[in-house]
């Protein structure tokens, strides 16, 4: 039970007419020019002649990714996602529709329990996905769909590339979405969340059912909220009360169990459990008997009996939360004029020692690395990198004019045209009272989004190399994987953030131009690390978030100017202003990361790790326009990624679009614990240089014969590294152009798995590159740049199969073949043992419990083209004979009708036991008079006797004639045994 039951009630058959199938393109054609009435206190923008829709991307990540096609678990098919978004936006643009996509960029502490439950669901799905892949080696079913690693970042970059308005919420996701929808006159909202149903948007469409058909329609379902209030006989304010009583993040349903029992008794459904449609109808019937929400004291008193109860206060907040999202509550909740400075003082106190005095003169409207010239150059480089893109024939209608729109603004546009990407709207929407309100009169060119082109020519490359450390050993190459707790002896400081830095971070965060974690760290010193595609029980890989812990620690040091704080501390210590035993200052950031010992029970305290050189302050990294500042930005990025080496910046070895790929792989290879095998590193490089990487039609028709769990986790590790690299790039002032960071330029999960499967079959890198020598050269040069200066340690290959290698024998507890003695193993069991031994030349007999139950004839064979003659030999097998004795058999040829003597029998330990060399025949007959046990019997004059006893008698008789027969034949060559005449026997 919970508020989501309200959404389920809208979609169920219990509410007739609650969900109606519609075509958004038809609705857009029917939209006419009209003007909404303006409120006296707040100006509402005119709607215009386009159908304006706002999309909550968190409810339709799978749809924006392209649907539930089967290869999402392989690491992400980013080119296919980009093509789908291109077609979707092209259809929307032709259909006279305007979209604004909103991503959740908040860190709402009040919804922490919801986030933990969501991560538990993701972990459960990931476990089932990897179990399915381990057992069946096929892609998982769509019911277990989980967002591929780095999906939100890739989606944000793709929408930005397609010139679609994209935003990230800052304080309260749901309130900011509905506030933006109402403030800027949007016609409707695409989402699937019950809280929006309580807000009563202008029109409510389903984002889960949105579908772009081949006939050119954009179909979905529209939720008729008027039918909801009509069926439940409630006003919209009373619907907010129903939503609060169903249970939400403020007042969970676990706190209302006694109230549910009371409602069950009142509505006469005591024996019916309040779930789903029943719960909504029962609570709605109960709410009709209560006072309206306008009389809150009477409402609370009637529900809880005591207005001072703890739950009563939470109930008030819950009802007010939903009222603030309604049309009437929005105008009261969001004041006409917000204060210009509503930022928490603790986060924006100007740091007196944050930098040099001239740093205050920097242009803080955007990153200094983003200029019109540099973004045009990065756009040219992007076109060159994607020159081999192959579009399906059905999509040939997309002309080249669309590529000109990929740049956020052209050369003619002024620097402040960044706001055009925000549809000319204010960068601050009406959010909750605790939100950060930014003045919109600031000039900004941060929307250009293109970072500096550091690969302009070899001269710039050489300057950057000379400014950076050419020795890779200056950077630690293994992260400290232990969670750093806060000792009592260290000097933990509370760093302050410059107003300019926080303002720029807020603007870029809101516009989707920056990783959301940066604002989280700067404002709250806290981040949440979601679950990714990894097997928690697998010991081949360390936890993925643990792999990149050192990278995050260095980013924290850059964001909070740790080097500058320590420099100032050392100066004060030298001047005698501080005691000698004072420890250098440290910065602690809280990370919410899952582990078995800490399943999101508390945040792990992680200490920032300074870079091994004098890093400038964050203001200089972000806003410094000089060439030296440009070099420091790039060097800071390389240091965070363990990639401060000369060849990384050489475009002859690392093309610009492969820069992120090279840095992430180098960071992984520099770890103390080896993760990748030699062929797996080549697989990443070969698929990046594969000409079919951007051929979406080829990748769609490509079939994976096998999907491995190791390949899935390797792809997840790499894509998490890409997300961390983009985080470091934004933290260092975006030295790398964002267009060159797009993952579809260098990775595709399906192609990676296809190449990984081929690498197990081919014999050389040339075969893996399909005999294209130019690709082999590119791969070799890129690998050389990645491994430059590293003590390379590859992961051990898997153990071979038991039957294929001596290592398999050792794994089964047996020594390898080269450790065995030269003598053959005495074994006759199994076909393998028979093939290793010569077949007896004169036949033989099979005896069970001392009785002959089978025989075979002679097979003399040939040796050196000479037919072998039968000889008297002894059978040295391991089969048991009479009285646990080995039986060498002798069948000499005699006259016709004359009985041939049976096989001789003697004790194996004859030499060790000379007392038992001979046995009296008479004594043996006395023992054998009474047959015992099961077996074959022989009719004799003295009665029925076991056949084994008759054979014993004849064998002992033959031994008495020649007692030295074993000494003659024990070392002779084994050629087989002859056949004896059949004996008349009867079954006993």
Cα 513 to Cα 65: distance, rounded to the nearest angstrom:
19
Last residue in a domain, options 786, 805, 824? 786
Residue 58 has which token pair?
């968190």
Least confident of 88-102, 345-359, 709-723: 345-359
The answer to whether residues 425 and 292 belong to one domain is: no
Whether residues 749 and 847 share a domain: the answer is no
Residue 912 has pLDDT above 90, yes or no: no
Q: Which of 738, 760, 786 is at the close of a domain?
A: 786
Same domain, 497 and 622: yes
Q: Are residues 587 and 518 in the same domain?
A: yes
Task: Tokens for 179, please give them.
Answer: 């506030």
Which segments within 200-287 are labelled E, that is strand? Answer: 204-206, 211-212, 218-223
Asked, for residue 264, whether it belongs to a domain, the answer is yes
Distance CA 225, CA 227 (A): 5
Distance between CA atoms of residues 393 and 634, nearest Å? 41
d(CA 119, CA 122): 5
pLDDT for the residue 938 = 58
Token pair of 269 as six digits: 């459904």
Report if residue 896 sits inside a domain: yes
309 and 394 part of one domain: no
* Digit-coded pLDDT (tens) for 789-824: 888 889 888 766 544 444 444 444 444 444 444 545
pTM equals 0.71
Average pLDDT, integer, range 467-472: 33
Minimum mean pLDDT range among 82-96, 255-269, 395-409, 489-503 = 395-409
Question: What is the predicted pLDDT for the residue at 946?
Answer: 63
- pLDDT, average across residues 444-458: 34
Q: For residue 212, what pLDDT is reported?
A: 85
In a domain, 55, yes or no: no
Q: Does residue 70 sit within a domain?
A: no
Instruction: Convert the pLDDT of each residue in 298-317 to its tens digit.
Output: 888 888 887 777 888 999 99
771 by Cβ neighbours in 10 Å (0-12 / 13-18 / 19+) ranks as exposed
Contact of 654 with 663, CB cutoff 8 Å: no
Question: pLDDT at residue 894 above 60?
Answer: no
Asked if the structure places residue 657 within a domain, the reply is: yes
DSSP line for 422-448:
GTT--S-----TTSPP--TTS---GGG
Whether residue 318 is predicted with pLDDT greater than 60 in this model: the reply is yes
Query: Please, what is the angle between helix 773-786 and helix 678-688, to 10°?
Result: 120
Same-domain pairing of 389 and 302: no
Q: Which two tokens stand for residue 716?
A: 């997840």
Residue 711 pLDDT greater than 80, yes or no: yes
Q: Residue 269 is part of which domain span?
A: 1-16+228-335
Confidence at residue 282, expressed as pLDDT on a 0 to 100 scale: 87
User: What's the whole-number mean pLDDT along residues 243-259?
Assistant: 89
Contacts of 728 (CB under 8 A, 6+ apart): 551, 554, 555, 558, 637, 640, 641
Banded pLDDT at 52 (limits 50, 70, 90): very high
The total number of residues written for the chain in this structure: 988
- Is the residue at 635 inside a domain? yes
Residues 773 and 911 in one domain: no
Tell me: do 688 and 771 sit in the same domain: yes
The residue among 297, 316, 335 that closes a domain is: 335
What average pLDDT does range 359-383 have in this prediction? 77
Q: 719: pLDDT confidence band, cut at 50, 70 and 90? A: very high
The confidence score (pLDDT) of residue 407 equals: 37
* Domain-embedded: residue 734: yes
Q: In which element (H, E) is residue 592 found? A: strand 588-592
Question: Does residue 217 sit within a domain?
Answer: no
The count of domains in the chain is 3
Q: Are residues 318 and 390 in the same domain?
A: no
Regarding whether 387 and 331 lie in a shared domain, the answer is no
- Nearest C-alpha neighbor of 889 from the set 828, 840, 945, 960: 840
Which of 374-383, 578-587, 818-827 has the least mean pLDDT? 818-827
More confident: 683 or 840: 683
Q: Please give the Cα distance from 659 to 552 (Å, whole number).
A: 19
Q: Do 605 and 490 share a domain, yes or no?
A: yes
Over residues 253-277, mean pLDDT: 73
pLDDT attached to residue 450: 33
Q: What is the mean pLDDT of the chain?
A: 74
For residue 895, is pLDDT > 90? no
- The C-alpha torsion from 928 through 929 and 930 to 932, rounded to 10°, is 20
Residues 659 and 724 in one domain: yes
User: Helices H, strands E: what count in the chain?
Assistant: 38, 20
Among 675, 712, 667, which residue's Cα sits nearest to residue 534?
A: 712
- The percentage of residues in the chain with a pLDDT greater than 70, rounded to a whole number, is 65
- According to DSSP, the residues that pair with 937 across neighbouring strands are 946, 986
445-458: average pLDDT:
34
Alpha-carbon distance of 948 to 937, in angstroms, equals: 8
492: helix, strand or coil: strand
């Amino acid at each position: 039970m919970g508020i989501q039951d309200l959404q389920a009630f809208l979609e169920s058959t219990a509410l007739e007419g609650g969900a109606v199938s519609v075509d958004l393109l038809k609705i857009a054609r029917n939209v006419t020019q009209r003007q909404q009435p303006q409120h006296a206190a707040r100006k509402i923008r005119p709607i215009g002649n386009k159908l304006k829709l706002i999309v909550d991307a968190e409810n339709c990540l799978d749809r924006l990714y392209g649907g539930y096609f089967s290869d999402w678990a392989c690491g992400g098919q980013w080119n296919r996602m980009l093509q789908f978004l291109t077609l979707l936006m092209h259809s929307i643009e032709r259909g006279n529709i305007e979209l604004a996509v909103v991503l959740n960029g908040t860190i709402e502490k009040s919804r922490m329990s919801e986030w933990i439950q969501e991560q538990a669901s993701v972990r459960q799905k990931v476990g089932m996905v990897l179990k399915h892949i381990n057992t069946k080696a096929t892609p998982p079913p769509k019911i277990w769909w989980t967002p591929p690693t780095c999906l939100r970042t890739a989606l944000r970059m793709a929408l930005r590339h397609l010139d679609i308005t994209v935003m990230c919420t800052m304080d309260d996701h749901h309130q900011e979405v509905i506030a933006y929808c109402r403030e800027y006159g949007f016609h409707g909202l695409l989402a699937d969340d019950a809280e929006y149903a309580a807000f009563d948007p202008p029109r409510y469409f389903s984002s889960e059912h949105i579908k772009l058909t081949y006939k050119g329609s954009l179909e979905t379902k529209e939720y008729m909220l008027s039918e909801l209030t009509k069926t439940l006989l409630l006003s919209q304010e009373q619907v907010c009360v129903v939503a609060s009583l169903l249970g939400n993040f403020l007042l969970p349903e676990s706190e209302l169990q006694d109230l549910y029992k009371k409602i069950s008794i009142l509505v006469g459904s005591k024996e019916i459990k309040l779930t789903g449609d029943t719960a909504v109808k029962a609570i709605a019937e109960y709410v009709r008997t209560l006072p309206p929400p306008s009389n809150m004291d009477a409402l609370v008193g009637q529900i809880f009996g005591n207005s001072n109860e703890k739950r009563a206060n939470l109930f008030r907040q819950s009802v007010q939360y939903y009222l603030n999202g309604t049309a009437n509550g929005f105008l009261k909740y969001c004041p006409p004029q917000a204060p210009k400075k509503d930022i928490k003082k603790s986060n924006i106190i100007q740091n007196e020692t944050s930098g040099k005095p001239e740093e205050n003169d920097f242009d803080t409207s955007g990153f200094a690395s983003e200029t019109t010239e540099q973004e045009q150059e990065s756009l040219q480089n992007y076109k060159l990198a994607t020159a081999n893109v192959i579009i399906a024939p059905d999509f040939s209608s997309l002309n080249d004019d669309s590529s000109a729109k990929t740049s956020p603004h052209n050369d003619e546009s002024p620097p402040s045209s960044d706001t055009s990407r925000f549809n000319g709207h204010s960068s601050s929407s009406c959010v909750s009272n605790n939100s950060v309100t930014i003045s919109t009169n600031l000039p900004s060119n941060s929307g250009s989004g293109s970072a500096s082109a550091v690969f302009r020519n070899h001269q710039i490359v050489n300057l950057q190399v000379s400014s950076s450390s050419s020795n890779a050993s200056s950077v630690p190459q293994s992260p400290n994987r232990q969670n750093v707790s806060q000792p009592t002896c260290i000097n933990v400081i509370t760093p302050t953030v410059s107003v300019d830095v926080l303002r720029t971070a807020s603007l870029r965060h809101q516009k989707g131009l920056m990783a959301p974690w940066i604002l989280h760290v700067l404002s709250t010193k806290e981040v949440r690390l979601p679950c990714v595609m990894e097997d928690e029980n697998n010991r081949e890989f360390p936890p993925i978030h643990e792999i990149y812990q050192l990278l995050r620690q260095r980013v924290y040091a850059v964001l909070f100017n740790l080097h500058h704080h320590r420099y100032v501390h050392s100066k004060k210590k030298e001047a005698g202003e501080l005691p000698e035993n004072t420890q250098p200052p440290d910065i602690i950031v809280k990370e919410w990361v899952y582990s078995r010992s800490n399943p999101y029970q508390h945040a792990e305290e992680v200490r920032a790790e300074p870079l091994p050189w004098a890093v400038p302050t964050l203001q200089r990294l972000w806003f410094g326009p000089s060439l030296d500042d440009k070099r420091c930005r790039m060097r800071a990025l390389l240091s965070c990624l363990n990639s401060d080496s000369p060849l990384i910046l050489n475009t002859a070895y690392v093309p610009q679009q492969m820069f992120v790929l090279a840095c992430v792989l180098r960071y992984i290879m520099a770890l103390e614990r080896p993760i990748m095998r030699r062929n797996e590193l080549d697989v990443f490089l070969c698929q990046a240089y594969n000409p079919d990487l951007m051929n979406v039609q080829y990748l769609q028709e490509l079939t994976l014969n096998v999907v491995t769990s190791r390949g899935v986790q390797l792809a997840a590790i790499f894509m998490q590294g890409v997300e961390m690299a983009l985080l470091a790039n934004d933290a260092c002032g975006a030295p790398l152009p964002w267009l060159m960071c797009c993952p579809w330029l260098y990775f595709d999960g399906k192609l990676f798995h296809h190449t990984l499967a081929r690498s197990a079959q081919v014999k050389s890198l040339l075969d893996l590159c399909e005999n294209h020598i130019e690709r082999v050269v590119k791969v070799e040069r890129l690998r050389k740049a990645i491994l430059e200066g590293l003590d390379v340690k590859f992961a051990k290959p898997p153990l071979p199969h038991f039957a294929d290698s001596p290592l398999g024998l050792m794994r089964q507890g047996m020594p390898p073949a080269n450790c065995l003695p030269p003598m053959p193993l005495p074994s006759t069991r199994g076909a393998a043992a028979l093939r290793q031994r010569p077949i007896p030349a004169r036949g033989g007999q099979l005896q069970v419990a001392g009785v002959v139950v089978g025989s075979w004839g002679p097979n003399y064979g040939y040796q050196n083209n000479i037919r072998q003659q039968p000889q008297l030999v002894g059978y040295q097998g391991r089969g048991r004979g009479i009285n646990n004795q080995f039986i060498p058999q002798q069948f000499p040829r005699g006259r016709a009708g004359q009985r041939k003597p049976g096989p001789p029998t003697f004790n194996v330990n004859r030499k060790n036991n000379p007392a038992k060399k001979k046995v009296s025949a008479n004594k043996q007959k006395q023992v054998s008079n009474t047959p015992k046990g099961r077996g074959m019997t022989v009719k004799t004059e003295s009665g029925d006797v076991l056949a084994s006893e008759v054979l014993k008698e004849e064998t002992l008789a033959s031994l008495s004639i020649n007692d030295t027969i074993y000494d003659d034949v024990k070392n002779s060559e084994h050629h087989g045994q002859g056949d004896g005449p059949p004996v008349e026997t009867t079954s006993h």
